[in-house]
Structure 1
């Protein structure tokens, strides 16, 4: 059932009445190249989505400004046995509608995140059971020892069981099927900001939660979030004062913004890796002129595609230097990154042509490629450059670049042959990438974003061992082995880590971290 855009909720309206007495209510207006596709915190495992909804909803365990773990809705946690974790829940917390937060909400939320339609199952797939000890204590039992469980669940946001049941939102919004429910447009979390109004692809407004249990460092009362897809329009809005923050700041306009005297660009490294994936499962590709077989099942074809990509040219012309070419699916700053393994196959069109000929495609072939045009920094430009490189070895790419609102549902249905994706490991650990992107796909959430269905049982075996290993040296050695197998298989085509670039008005202060989450509670306006 499709819901119409809701009016301002009663609870948000009440909050506005309280704040009306503030003579100069501080407002920050954000312009982003894309929109969060839903207010449902379990509907899409995408950092922009989780960044926006993470201002309204909270996990049991969260991250501080330096991305270290810190308490949120759980005040303490410990292992009571190798496969059981106990979490002490924060008392006195209320959801935005006034309902008390209890263990029942935790059990409900983890079941919801692990259930049908959820995009968060890769965070819950190795949890065997979640049990209520009392109203403010829960236990989680895992299938095997899982020492990094607190890291893994730091993006599983807690919803109100009562609210979800009353609003027929007990199941997540399923982006693959286009199914919506009340949680698409309304929200009821425990976080520092409440959802005031939701107008998809137009504007989403938030207001400070006056009853928040924790500390809100910034002074911002209202946040207006507006998608502005056009780069020039986004920059003009910042420099004219129509918005206070833009993300991303177009790379070609960094010097102009910095020289305006009105705003500056905050830049820094991001842990997101941009990569290409290929359908390696189907016997015949959905979108190709090759019939009766799948070229991507041949490692020589995958390697040819890799060597046809001029990554330094992309860094220089498309990314204007604001990227770090990579040979790994994790970047520096992620636990498990090994700098000595970060050596790409050389860009070599002639070698790529030879590989294609050896694989039986001396004249190349045609293949469809899916790419977003409003999600990552210069994403469509990257795909165009890749297509140009492949054209030089005889591969004709039929590129479909589209808004992420249609792009994500398509590729999440695996309705693709060749695609671009970006990934930030929410756990800041290599296990997240191995479990979500590289592990063989199952029906419980393993390999949930392994959209081309790469599969090597040895990598799976190592991933499970990495998950349980507590000895750092042994664990690092296993991570290295798993990534080496994946590299030799050319399981994916890693491209680069993009750099963060936020345009920020001189009247506003924000905190920028390497996970690219934008926390409203750290924002202040003059």
Structure 2
């Protein structure tokens, strides 16, 4: 690789401010919360949505419109809910015997013939430069052994073991097949696989990556891997790992690890990549001079956090229909956090593709979903494609959880021996209104999630009733697409019953994340809805990293209410681990729920996994401490030069860039 790691700064002076005008009023007094034992039975409930007229103003004369909602009548049948809140936490031990069964798996192939193909039917076999602008590419770490967090660049020049096909199935890449049992996974690798320096990407190379990230990192001058990469490696038993042949390896796991392939294999947020051992063994500084990875692109220029330029690797070895040498010779990726500046690049055709088009703008552009998703509709200069369920937003009331946790002694560990951090209950919140379940339910019932989706979210989000992502393994459609009702009158009655008929004041917390649109708008909308029932909320916005750290390892710092968000996971079992006190991103839980997550992590039986995932969700929702708000979507915009972008419907980040086809 010729190394000319140059900087190319982009100065764009366009600015856009998206504003939802919401008036916030003050609340009243508070009464002492009480411990309750209450059974609520709702046999049949008819909800009538009152017509709402909201005005959404977007400055710089981008959009100005009035949204009128048509009244709808919807029947909701709810199950009996029984909730018991006790002062003293009780340890509940869940014991089940699950017999793991072998689960051989063969990646499913799928045809991409419906999409324009390079070199066929007048489509150029090769084109010059392709430019993309994104709000973020995640972390700027190029070394796969030292990833500090989620990054999306590794897909382009390093190796993943498997690959997600645009139809959503797991598909062959470095490994052509895999077979998983309770003891580990056997991978059979593609014999053509190689690195850019010509060295073989064989079973020994895969073995060296596992050992290097997990155990031998110091030997080559590396720091201990971060939590992101270390989490995946922690599942591996190095003593049981075995290179069987140049194209076959057995990766032993520490007992049954049913979700291991979902972290390793390219599904959703995969968090592990393999580099070239020959360059990685030279140490971190030498590696960056020439990574010589095994992916389809060679790094040509690199300005961390700003710009990266790739050259096509002409000898790329993969020749699958779903993964092969790209059509374009040069790929330029720019990070442009400002929405307006990013869209200006698309509109002026300085960029062929923009990731994360603002919803108010996207609603006026031709959608490929209206004809053939991912294929240029041929109806104008621009077109879009949408990733569904790329993120989740929930409303968390953390004080009940913190009260329970504060009563446990220090020095606890979970069932894996992981330390459970102890944090005292915050002073001044001993009689907080949100300790009462009726108050929390009232605040949830006061929010019209459907109206927010239709109004300030321009129909680009969908209200959700689940803590699992739509379309993921374990998500139940009857829960996902059944959000809680909007019932402000019931909310007022619950507040009065709890002793807060005059309302109260509360503090809320949120962070704004790249690739997670709609959060500021829902913050303002919630303020307005809570004001209508006499509750005044003051929101505090936090740096995304600080906000996430507030949920780390049992801390749950943000009180009294927070809007917790996380990226899509394709297996709900990966999200289930959030509901443990020792989790790296803790959700509200109780010992019974935490115990169920450990049972889930020990079975490879799909039916039992589905049953446990459903049971965990039901118990989390029954706490009335976490309330799902909406599933996010993310819109990608293309110029008419782009003929097609085959990619999955559900994704947490951009994928399959190498499959994009263009005109000259």
TM range (shorter): 0.7 to 0.9
C-alpha change, 1:411 and 1:164, in structure 2 (3 Å) is: farther
CA distance in 2, matches of 1:287, 1:223: 52
Given candidates 470, 477, 480, the residue that maps to 1:339 is 477
Supply the RMSD in Å over aligned alpha carbons.
3.9
How far residue 95 of structure 1 moved from its aligned partner, in angstroms, is: 3.6
Given candidates 424, 427, 434, the residue that maps to 2:568 is 424
SS in 1 for 2:565: strand
SS in 2 for 1:460: helix
C-alpha change, 1:357 and 1:116, in structure 2 (3 Å) is: farther
> Aligned pairs, how many?
484
C-alpha change, 1:165 and 1:82, in structure 2 (3 Å) is: same
Please give the TM-score of this superposition, normalised by the length of structure 1.
0.78
Given candidates 304, 324, 338, the residue that maps to 2:462 is 324
Deviations 1:298-332 (A, max 9, x none): 64554344334321222022211122211102233
How far residue 520 of structure 1 moved from its aligned partner, in angstroms, is: 2.3
Given candidates 296, 299, 304, the residue that maps to 1:200 is 304
Deviations 1:166-205 (A, max 9, x none): 3348xxxxxxxxxxx987x985532112333332342222
Structure 2 residue ranges without an equivalent (≥5): 7-123, 367-377, 407-422
Given candidates 611, 615, 624, the residue that maps to 1:490 is 624
Given candidates 47, 69, 86, the residue that maps to 2:186 is 86
After alignment, is 293-302 or 392-401 more displaced?
Answer: 293-302
Q: Does 1:212 align with 2:316?
A: yes
SS in 1 for 2:486: coil
Give the match for residue 448 of structure 1.
584
Q: Does 1:383 align with 2:523?
A: yes
Give the match for residue 512 of structure 2.
372
Please give the TM-score of this superposition, normalised by the length of structure 2.
0.63
How far residue 90 of structure 1 moved from its aligned partner, in angstroms, is: 4.0
Structure 1 residue ranges without an equivalent (≥5): 1-7, 14-21, 170-180
**Does the Cα contact within 8 Å between 2:3 and 2:290 map onto a contact in 1?**
no
Give the match for residue 228 of structure 1.
336
After alignment, is 493-502 or 287-296 more displaced?
Answer: 287-296
C-alpha change, 1:235 and 1:431, in structure 2 (3 Å) is: same
Give the match for residue 540 of structure 2.
399
C-alpha change, 1:149 and 1:338, in structure 2 (3 Å) is: same
Deviations 1:401-441 (A, max 9, x none): 55x5776567668684124313211xx22212212x33x04
SS in 2 for 1:267: strand
How far residue 70 of structure 1 moved from its aligned partner, in angstroms, is: 1.9
SS in 2 for 1:454: coil
Deviations 1:121-174 (A, max 9, x none): 5545544446233574433333333345323322221134454453348xxxxx
Give the match for residue 129 of structure 2.
27
How far residue 494 of structure 1 moved from its aligned partner, in angstroms, is: 1.6
CA distance in 2, matches of 1:297, 1:9: 62
Give the match for residue 167 of structure 1.
283
C-alpha change, 1:421 and 1:147, in structure 2 (3 Å) is: closer
SS in 1 for 2:566: strand
Given candidates 253, 263, 267, the residue that maps to 1:152 is 263
CA distance in 1, matches of 2:519, 2:612: 32
CA distance in 2, matches of 1:114, 1:480: 39
Give the match for residue 18 of structure 1.
none
**Does the Cα contact within 8 Å between 1:275 and 1:422 map onto a contact in 2?**
no
Give the match for residue 654 of structure 2.
517
**Does the Cα contact within 8 Å between 1:271 and 1:334 map onto a contact in 2?**
no
Q: Does 1:263 align with 2:382?
A: yes
